[in-house]
Structure 1
C-alpha cells in the first residue's frame, strides 16, 4: 500500500501487479483535510486543567448534549438501528464531529444479540470482527457468544459517547424538498418526537423483515410456530418433536440447540446449501489476513481490510475458486459423509464458495461449528429435496405424501431486502425508487443481472436524496462505516461531493 495526498483529502491505495503490469488498483479516502478525526495528536483533553467558576464537568457536558439533541438542536444524521452497523457508523461520525442520533427499539444496546436464540454465536473469528477504534482484547474468545457480543456493544456505545435512543421506534418519515431534510416521527418511551435530520441511514443489518412462508394450513396448526428471528431457544422443547424448515446458518444453530436440549428435531432442506467448516475456513481462507499469524507477519487489521477490498467483484471469484477447491479437498471425507446422510450440497454457482455466495445473496450457506456432524450421525434428522405441501393440525405434510409430526415448527426461511424497511417507514414508491439492496448483479441465483459491479445501494448515494444503507457483518460494519461517514461529513461541511452516476434500479426488492 502507498499513501497519497490530494487537496481535499488523504487516502491510501493498493496496486496489484500481474506479469509485471498493473492489474488492479484500489484508491480509498481515509481523511478529509481540515476535518480529521479527533484522535491521536488531535484527541480531546478531557479534564481541562486550571480553574473557572461555574464550569461544567465532562459528565455535565455529555448530559447537556444528550438532553438538547433532538429537542433544541437537530441531528445532522439519524441512524435507524443500533446494532454493530449503527454503532460503528455512529462512532465514526462522532469522531468527525457530525451530530448523530441512533434509534433502536430495544431497551439496551446489544439487545438485538441478547434476544436471539441462546446458542447464537459469531461464526467469524475475532480477528475479522473488530469494531472501529477499540479492538477486542487479546483474551477475547475466537468465536464470541451472543450475550458477550451484546455486552461489548453496550460498552462500546458508552465509551464512544454515542447518542443512542433505546426503547425508540421510528414510525414515519418523509423528505421535505424545500428544507432538504427528513421529517421522522419516532416514539421514545411512549413520547412522540419529530426529528429533522439532513441524512437518514438505515442500519438494520443486511436484511429486512423476516420472510415468513405462507404454506397452506398454517392457521390450523395446534402447536407452536414462529420465524427463527423470534425463536427464544430450546429449553421448552425437551422430549418434544421439532421441525425446522430451512438449512442455512440459523436453521443449523437452532437444530443443534434443540438436539442438545433433548428434542426430536428434523431439518427440512428444500434446496442446496453450501457448507464451510469453520476450522478449514480459518486456515485456508481467512488466515493469511485475519489471524494471529497474519498479525505476526505485520498484517494489521487496517492493512488486511485494504487488501480484502482491493479485488474488484468482476474478478473476485477467480481468487475464491481455488480457495473453495482447497477447502473441498481438505474436507472431502466430511462432504462425502454429509451427502451420504442425504444433505444436498453446493459450492456456489461457479464453485467459488462461501464469500461469493455471501456477497451475491447473503444466504444459502452454513459455517459449520458442529451441527453438520449431528446430521451425519443422524442425531439431527433430515428431510431433503421435497417441498412442503401443507401444514396440518399436527405437523408438516410434504409433496411426496409423507408427514412429520411436530410440537414446534421453526421457519428459518431468511429475510427480505433492506428496502422493505423503507416501504414501511416512508412509502412503497420510495422503496421502489431505491430498489433491491445487496448483491452485485452476478446473474446467479438470487442475485439477478445486469452487472452492477458494487453492492446494490450499500454505503453510497441512492436514487433517493439523503437516504443511505449500512449493513453486513462486523467486518463490513467496521470497514465501510469509514467511507459512509466521510461522505456524510463532506455533505455536512458543504464540501462538493459530485456523484458521477447513481446506480440504476433494475429490481425492486
Structure 2
C-alpha cells in the first residue's frame, strides 16, 4: 500500500488527537497513524489506581471538555481512555490502526513514512509518539545478580500482584509516589529516592502546575527572570491516595541503594535489604526511533526545535514530548496550544 496526503500524524494518543483536531479545523488533508489496536493511547496501559492530577474540566483537549467522572474529583485512567475514544469519534479524526511507523525518510520534496502496513508520502509530518513506549532503567551495579522480579512503571498493574511480598519502589516522582502509596498497605514496602521527595502543597494540582508552566513560558519569552515553573513548586502532587498514605506515615522514603545483590539491595554503608521485587519508577525517554533515518538527534537525544518545528527539517514537527516541544505539552491540558501552533505553521508552509 502506498498513499499520499498533506500531513501524516504519527501517534493516536492525546497529542496526536489534539494535532488532528487543529488540522481538521484548518481544512488540511491528513491521516493519523496509531500503533495501538484501540483508542486511548498510553492511558489504556496504565496501572489500575492511576489518577489524574487535575479535575476533569482541567484535563481537556481542545474543543471538548472532559466530562466529570461520577464520584471522583480526579478521574482514573479508564475515564481518560473513554474520553479520548469519544474525542476521536466526535471529530471524525482519520485514525488508521494498528499501523506501526518504522521510519521517516526524505524523498525529494516529500517525507516518506514507512510502516508495517505500507508507505505514506506527505509534505509534512507531526510526530506525537510520546515516551511511554521507551521506559528508562538506570545503570545500577549488580542488576544481573538480582534473581527476583524487576519491572518498570509500564509493567505495574495492581498491588494484589505483590501482596505479602518485600517490594522496593525506586523513584521520587509522581509515579513512584503513587505506586508506593498503592503498595503501602499489603506489602513490606521500601521506597527509595535519590533525594528526599518534595510533596506539593495539598491544594496544588494540575491546574496550578499548568499555570506555573505558562507563567514560566511567558517570562522567558518576555526576557524576564525565569520563574522556575513547575520545578519550583515540588516533585509530587498529593493526590488523595498519596495524601492518605503519607498522612498515615506509610510513605517514608529512604536513600537510594548503591547496588543490587542476590536477593536484595545494598547501600553504601554495607547495610542490606531483602526484596522479592523491585519496581523502577525511573521515568522515560522520548520515543523517537522512527525518526532515526533523518539523523536529527543531538544533545541528550533531543531533536533541536524552534517551537515544535525541527530546526534541521522544517517539514517535521514534534509534539507532546515535554517542555522542549511546548510548555506542559506532555499533559492533556497543555498539549492544546502547541498542537494549534504546529498545525498553523504546517498550514502556512503548505500554502506558501
State which of 253, 256, 273 in structure 2 corresponds to 1:382: 253
Q: How large is the Cα RMSD of the aligned pairs?
A: 3.1
State which of 54, 57, 61 in structure 2 corresponds to 1:127: 57
Q: How does 1:292-303 map to 2 (within 5 A)?
A: none
Q: Tell me whether 1:407 sits opposite 2:273 in the alignment.
A: no
> Structure 1 residue 244: deviation in Å?
0.8
Answer with 1 or 2: which has the greater Rg.
1
Q: How does 1:207-246 map to 2 (within 5 A)?
A: 209-246=134-171
> Structure 1 residue 217: deviation in Å?
2.0
In 1, distance between residues paired with 2:73 and 2:216? 20
CA displacement, residues 222-266 of structure 1 (integer Å, 9 cap, x when unaligned)? 221111122233221111111011110000111111224x12211
* 1:468 alignment counterpart: 317
1:275 aligns to what SS in structure 2?
Answer: coil
> Structure 1 residue 491: deviation in Å?
1.7
* 1:165 alignment counterpart: 96
State which of 21, 38, 54 in structure 2 corresponds to 1:91: 21
Q: Does the C-alpha gap of structure 1 residues 382 and 273 become closer, same or farther in structure 2, counting only changes over 3 Å?
A: closer
Q: Tell me whether 1:368 sits opposite 2:273 in the alignment.
A: no
CA displacement, residues 464-491 of structure 1 (integer Å, 9 cap, x when unaligned)? 2312111121122112211111111112
**Paired residues, number:** 340
* 1:9 alignment counterpart: none
Q: Does the C-alpha gap of structure 1 residues 312 and 127 become closer, same or farther in structure 2, counting only changes over 3 Å?
A: farther
Q: Tell me whether 1:115 sits opposite 2:25 in the alignment.
A: no
State which of 248, 251, 255 in structure 1 corresponds to 2:173: 248
* 2:292 alignment counterpart: 426
Indicate conservation of the 8 Å contact 1:201/1:470, yes or no. yes
* 2:324 alignment counterpart: none
Q: Structure 2 stretches of 5 or more lacking a match?
A: 321-329
* 1:436 alignment counterpart: 302
Q: Does the C-alpha gap of structure 1 residues 244 and 138 become closer, same or farther in structure 2, counting only changes over 3 Å?
A: closer
In 2, distance between residues paired with 1:413 and 1:307? 27
> Structure 1 residue 110: deviation in Å?
0.6
Q: Tell me whether 1:202 sits opposite 2:131 in the alignment.
A: no
In 1, distance between residues paired with 2:300 and 2:95? 26
Q: How does 1:283-294 map to 2 (within 5 A)?
A: 285=208
Q: Does the C-alpha gap of structure 1 residues 213 and 163 become closer, same or farther in structure 2, counting only changes over 3 Å?
A: same
1:431 aligns to what SS in structure 2?
Answer: coil
Q: Does the C-alpha gap of structure 1 residues 122 and 457 become closer, same or farther in structure 2, counting only changes over 3 Å?
A: farther
> Structure 1 residue 170: deviation in Å?
1.1
2:236 aligns to what SS in structure 1?
Answer: strand
In 2, distance between residues paired with 1:245 and 1:182? 41
Indicate conservation of the 8 Å contact 1:126/1:144, yes or no. yes
> Structure 1 residue 365: deviation in Å?
1.4
Q: Tell me whether 1:174 sits opposite 2:105 in the alignment.
A: yes
Indicate conservation of the 8 Å contact 2:10/2:34, yes or no. yes
Q: Does the C-alpha gap of structure 1 residues 257 and 484 become closer, same or farther in structure 2, counting only changes over 3 Å?
A: same
Q: How does 1:38-49 map to 2 (within 5 A)?
A: none
Q: Does the C-alpha gap of structure 1 residues 458 and 405 become closer, same or farther in structure 2, counting only changes over 3 Å?
A: farther
TM-score of the pair, normalised by structure 2: 0.85
> Structure 1 residue 109: deviation in Å?
1.1
Indicate conservation of the 8 Å contact 2:54/2:205, yes or no. no
> Structure 1 residue 436: deviation in Å?
2.6
TM-score of the pair, normalised by structure 1: 0.60
In 2, distance between residues paired with 1:434 and 1:489? 30
Indicate conservation of the 8 Å contact 2:21/2:91, yes or no. yes
* 1:8 alignment counterpart: none
Q: Does the C-alpha gap of structure 1 residues 411 and 199 become closer, same or farther in structure 2, counting only changes over 3 Å?
A: same
Higher relative contact order (CA 8 A, sep 6+): 2
> Structure 1 residue 162: deviation in Å?
0.9
* 2:220 alignment counterpart: 312
2:342 aligns to what SS in structure 1?
Answer: helix
* 1:487 alignment counterpart: 345
* 2:188 alignment counterpart: 264
In 1, distance between residues paired with 2:15 and 2:96? 15
Indicate conservation of the 8 Å contact 1:423/1:429, yes or no. no
Indicate conservation of the 8 Å contact 2:7/2:125, yes or no. yes
2:5 aligns to what SS in structure 1?
Answer: coil
